[in-house]
Amino acid sequence: MIQALLDGILVGSVVSLGAIGLTMVMHLLRFANFSHAELLTIGAYVALVFDRLFESIVPATKAAVGPLSLTFALFLAILVSMVLTGLSAVVIDRLVFKRIRETAGPLSMVFASFGVALIVRSVISLIFGLKPRLYSDDIVMAVTISTDPHLLVKPDQVFVFGAAVLIMLVLHLVLSRTTFGYALRAVAENPTLAQVAGVRLSTVIAVTWIVGGALAGAAGVFHALDNQVSPVIGQNFVLAVFAATIAGGIGSVYGAVIGGFLVGIAFGLALVILPPGYSPAMPFLIILAVLFIRPQGIFGELR
């Protein structure tokens, strides 16, 4: 049971990072972005590419960092991946969503996001193949941290959790202590007044995509680190990330974090309680529960 909780917290870290970007975009642009989860896939694959690249250029980076299976090359690749995934998010917005929201309504953006998700996922499949891959062929043993109850934890998992928390902490500091963070929060609360206060909306929108994309990219790598790099990562997370966003309240970064861990833990427990194979449906149950109990989510506002 506790093992399930631990595994759930790990999944939660990934979902939280993915949900932060989604909640910001959904709140700002008022549309359910079905392509957000594909940013996780993009992140995982970009990291793969740069990991191999760095390893071939500087073979020394092939060394693993401490007890992790994470190599220095991969560590650098994660940073590059975050930047590039963030950029691809804003590029997709400029190419597709921006033009649609200027000419058509928010629902057209939702359809378009279906289309974008399909394209991204399929192009990745085409380029990299359908077969899943691994960052590292090393087999990393799980460490027994307790014998009664029997608890296993992989060093990579500790890294993922730690890195996720660190990223969220940095984001928190930006939001609470920098004027740029105030600008982001101002736009979230009242875009018109924010403009009157001198905030340029197009800049904030671009930054929201970049930050959201970067976080999602990191989430993708973190997930793949503990599992596999495959084209279906996004597909597998789309409902979970929506569930976290809805549970936390659309527009609330802190809500997305809490929602993400909630979904992760529920996943962990579901694997223990429900028969296997049903777990993909679990985020849907969370969504239903939230809409039933408190539709605006934990920190959201009723509209």
Partner 1 sequence: MTAPGTVLSVDGLVAGYVKDLPILDRVSLQLTERSIAVIIGPNGAGKSTLIKAVAGLVAVSDGAISLRGRDIAGIRPDQLSALGISYVPQTENIFRTLTVRQNLLLVLRRSKSGARRLDELFGLFPPLAEKQRARAESLSGGQRQMLAIAMALAIEPSVILMDEPSAGLSPKAAREVLTFTRGLTEQGVSILLVEQNVKQALSIADHCYILAEGRNQIDGPAEKLLSDPVVGEIYLGGKRVDTP
Partner 2 sequence: MIGVVSYLVFFLTLAAILAIAVLGLNLHWGNTGLFNGGIAAFFGMGAYATILLGGTPQAGQFGGFDLFYPVALAGGIVASGLLAWIVGVATLKLRHDYLAIATFGVAVAFESFVRNSEWLTGGAKGLRGFERPLEAAIGDPFLFNLCFFAFVLAVLTAVYYGLGRLIRSPYGRLLRAIREDEHAAQSLGKNPARIRLASFITGSMIIGTSGALYATFYAFVSPDDVLPILTFQIWAMLIVGGAGNNRGALLGAFVIWAAWTSSGWVLARLAPVELQLYTGTIQYILIGLVIVGMLLARPQGLLPEKLVISQSGGETPRRPVQST
- Roughly how many angstroms between the first and final C-alpha of the chain, as a whole number? 38
Tell which positions 152-211 bind partner 2, by CB under 8 A.
Answer: 187, 191, 201-202, 205
Q: Is 129 exposed, middle or buried (0-12, 13-18, 19+ CB in 10 A)?
A: exposed
246 binds, options partner 1, partner 2, none, Cβ within 5 to 8 A by partner type: partner 2
Q: Is residue 171 near partner 1 by the rule CB under 8 A?
A: no
Q: Is 145 exposed, middle or buried (0-12, 13-18, 19+ CB in 10 A)?
A: exposed
Q: Is residue 99 near partner 2 by the rule CB under 8 A?
A: yes
Closest separation between CB of residue 191 and partner 1, Å? 10
3-state helix, strand, coil in the chain (%, to 5): 75, 5, 20
Q: Which residues pair with 229 in a beta bridge?
A: 133
Q: Is residue 103 near partner 1 by the rule CB under 8 A?
A: no
Size of the site for partner 1 (CB under 8 A): 18
149 binds, options partner 1, partner 2, none, Cβ within 5 to 8 A by partner type: none
CA distances from 158 to 22, 101, 128 (A): 25, 41, 29
Of 199 and 225, which has the nearer Cβ to partner 1? 199
Closest separation between CB of residue 156 and partner 1, Å? 37
108 binds, options partner 2, partner 1, none, Cβ within 5 to 8 A by partner type: partner 2
User: How long, in residues, is the chain?
Assistant: 303
Of 103 and 147, which has the nearer Cβ to partner 2? 103
Alpha-carbon span 85 to 276, nearest angstrom: 32
249 Ramachandran zone, left/alpha/beta (phi>0; psi -120 to 50): left
For residue 8, the one-letter residue type is G
Q: Is residue 303 near partner 1 by the rule CB under 8 A?
A: no
In b/e form, how buried is each residue of 48-68, taking b as 16+ CB within 10 angstroms?
A: bebbeebbeeeeebeebeeeb
Choose, by CB under 8 A, the member of 58, 60, 142, 281 that binds partner 2: 281
Tell which positions 172-211 bind partner 1, by CB under 8 A.
Answer: 179-180, 182-183, 185-186, 189-190, 192-201
CA–CA–CA angle 279, 284, 287 (5° rounding): 135
Note whether 156 and 226 are within 8 A (CB).
Answer: yes
Closest separation between CB of residue 275 and partner 2, Å? 7
Tell which positions 261-280 bind partner 2, by CB under 8 A.
Answer: 275-280
Q: Is residue 215 near partner 2 by the rule CB under 8 A?
A: no
Q: At what angle do helices 155-177 and 201-226 cross, to 10 degrees?
A: 170
Choose, by CB under 8 A, the member of 158, 207, 285, 298 that binds partner 2: 285
179 binds, options partner 2, partner 1, none, Cβ within 5 to 8 A by partner type: partner 1
- Among 293, 209, 302, smallest CA distance to 249 is for 302
User: Where on the chain is the footprint of partner 2 (CB under 8 A)?
Assistant: 26, 28-32, 34, 96, 98-104, 106-108, 110-112, 114-119, 121-123, 125-126, 130, 187, 191, 201-202, 205, 239, 242, 246, 275-281, 283-285, 287-288, 291-292, 295, 303
User: Where on the chain is the footprint of partner 1 (CB under 8 A)?
Assistant: 179-180, 182-183, 185-186, 189-190, 192-201
